[in-house]
């Protein structure tokens, strides 16, 4: 086990999972476990795999702690890249990252979920081994909220607002 970080929720460790290989494991006290985060992960999984949303694998409640297993994003967060660089990222990189984040948000909305905590700390970066590419992955679904909203209705209402402003 390798400690990757600590927060108010608990700790994140890298562990070896027999089927998935190296995964991230969030270990927390039961009172810090947010069932909404897990429920949101299940809703997103029903939509199919998406490389721009962090995939949660399973959770294991114990007496004194809960372990949540998820795919490992092998780079830093978007905020650590932005805060620790003296140079601006080129426009084409910003454009690619934004497109990936929006694609991840589309998956949330198709699942009827609203993330409600999109920020650079919750965007993990991952470079699939040997690919030479970087993918942005939306993480931390603890504030996600299920909404029974029809996406087509929203698009129609938005178009009406654009064509006929109030």
Tokens of 15: 């562990």
Question: What is the Cα 98 distance to its own chain's centre?
Answer: 14
CA dihedral of residues 44, 47, 48, 52 (deg, nearest 10):
-50
117, 121, 153, 160: which one is catalytic?
A: 117
117 is catalytic: yes
Annotated catalytic residues are 117
């Amino acid at each position: 086990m390798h400690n990757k970080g600590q927060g108010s929720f608990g700790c994140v460790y890298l562990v070896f999972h027999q089927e998935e290989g190296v995964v991230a494991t969030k270990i927390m006290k039961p009172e810090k476990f947010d069932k909404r985060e897990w429920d949101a992960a299940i809703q997103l999984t029903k939509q199919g795999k998406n490389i721009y949303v962090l995939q949660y694998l399973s959770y294991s409640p114990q007496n004194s702690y809960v372990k949540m297993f998820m795919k490992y994003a092998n780079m830093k967060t978007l905020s650590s890249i932005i805060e620790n660089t003296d140079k601006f990222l080129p426009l084409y990189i910003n454009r690619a990252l934004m497109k990936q984040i929006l694609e991840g948000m589309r998956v949330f909305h198709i699942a009827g979920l609203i993330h409600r905590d999109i920020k650079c700390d919750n965007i993990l970066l991952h470079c699939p081994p040997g690919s030479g590419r970087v993918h942005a992955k939306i993480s931390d679904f603890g504030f996600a909220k299920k909404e029974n909203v029809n996406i087509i209705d929203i698009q129609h209402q938005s178009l009406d607002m654009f064509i006929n402003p109030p």
